[in-house]
Amino acid sequence: MKVLMVCLGNICRSPLAEGILQNLIDRQELPWKVDSAGTSGYHAGSPPDIRSIEIAQKYGISIESQRSRKFHYADFEQFDIILAMDSENYSNIIQMAENEEERAKVELIMNYAYPAENRQVPDPYYDRIDGFDKVFNMLQVAAEKFVDKHKKQ
């Protein structure tokens, strides 16, 4: 299975989501791939925000070699599941889809932890470091549920 994590800048939330899922994939030796992208290209080519790097490090996960890239249409073909961090990311991706099969690949990541509640992963960019810790823990729960659900299939 190929999973793409998407936020706005691809420097705060989706790099954490990618690192967390990659860690679960490695630990459980799953034949999966994970990548991340941003709906904006504001930070294309940049490493993750230092606060995301530091929070990931605190939990034993290394994300500093990731580089930000923009979500592009070809991602619908290259990935089986596209996980949006918030509803704005979700609608931006959905607007680029051209058919029902592509639209069906897009989900809000927190719905794995809280089904059908459409909860958001808050953008921590203008926040203090606690915002990043909270985001990390939300994503950890959602990623674990995601693995539990899909590894059975």
Active site (annotated) includes residue 7: yes
Instruction: Give me 143's structure tokens.
Output: 């990623």
Residue among 17 and 29 whose Cβ is closer to ligand 4NP? 17
Active site (annotated) includes residue 12: no
Taking alpha carbons only, the member of 153, 149, 82, 79 closest to residue 115 is 149
> What is the spatial distance between Cα 113 and Cα 108, in angstroms, rounded to a whole number?
10
10 binds ligand 4NP (CB under 6 A): yes
125 binds ligand 4NP (CB under 6 A): yes
Active site (annotated) includes residue 49: no
Residue among 102 and 127 whose Cβ is closer to ligand 4NP? 127
Contacts of 107 (CB under 8 A, 6+ apart): 81, 82, 83, 84
Taking alpha carbons only, the member of 56, 42, 60 closest to residue 13 is 56
123 binds ligand 4NP (CB under 6 A): yes
The residue ranges that bind ligand 4NP (CB under 6 A) are: 7-13, 38, 42, 123, 125
Q: Which residues are catalytic?
A: 7, 13, 123
